[in-house]
Amino acid sequence: MGNTKLQELTDKLYQQGLEKGRTEAETLVAEAKKEAQKIVAEAEARAAEIISKAQSKAEDVEKNAMTEISLAGKQAVAKIKSEIETLIVEKATAEGVKKANLDATFIKDMLLAIAQNWNNGAKADLSALLPEAKKAELDKAMSVAVKSLLSEGIEVGYSAEVKSGFKVGEKNGGYYISFSDESFSALLNDYLREKVAQLIF
């Protein structure tokens, strides 16, 4: 009988131990599940935040890219328009400028106008250089104009450095102002481009 009581006591202790172990295990499992749910929730919140930031950044990048593309497009259109204006002006004026720069009457009139305005109306002491390569074409016509030019204080000569148009400056000065095909074209270009833009755009 003593053995039976001992056996009962042992079984009871064993059952209580098992029960306590089960309870502790269930508590641990519940806490682990709770902790796991917390970790998952935090991870999901962090992931949502990362996705939100990534989407926001992607939208900013797209917006900036579209702005840059739009700006580049506007600049390209403006450059193309400018080049079209320049080509039209050059095509329309180039031949006329070249002819004018070989016309002795035009050159004489330009030189007289320059002389009259060089020193605010005071008599000028200028030297004009014409293209050496065009001497044969200009010499005969300019010889008629030389008297009126000399009376205004302009001495006319030829130079190999002058390729087109003419250069004019003070006789003893160290610089000349160039009136070449390019400088006339540039001057006309400034005035005509706006008109051309209004006509075609």
Say how many C-beta atoms besides its own lie within 10 A of residue 101's C-beta: 22
Do residues 45 and 129 both lie within one domain? no
Whole-prediction pTM = 0.44
Q: What's the pLDDT tens digit per position in 164-192?
A: 777 777 777 766 777 766 766 666 676 66
Do residues 24 and 48 both lie within one domain? yes
Q: What's the pLDDT tens digit per position in 83-93?
A: 777 777 677 66
Structural domain count of the chain: 2
Strands lying side by side in the sheet with 154-159: 154-159, 126-131, 166-170, 177-179
Question: What's residue 46's pLDDT?
Answer: 92
Angle at 14 between CA 10 and CA 16, to 5 degrees: 120
Q: What's the pLDDT tens digit per position in 70-84?
A: 888 888 888 887 777
* Residue 133 belongs to some domain of the structure: yes
Which of the listed residues 36, 69, 92 is the one where a domain comes to its end? 92
Residue 31 has pLDDT above 80, yes or no: yes
**How far apart, in whole angstroms, are the C-alpha atoms of residue 42 and residue 44?**
5
**How far apart, in whole angstroms, are the C-alpha atoms of residue 99 and residue 165?**
10
Do residues 56 and 108 both lie within one domain? no
Do residues 46 and 112 both lie within one domain? no
**How far apart, in whole angstroms, are the C-alpha atoms of residue 193 and residue 86?**
7
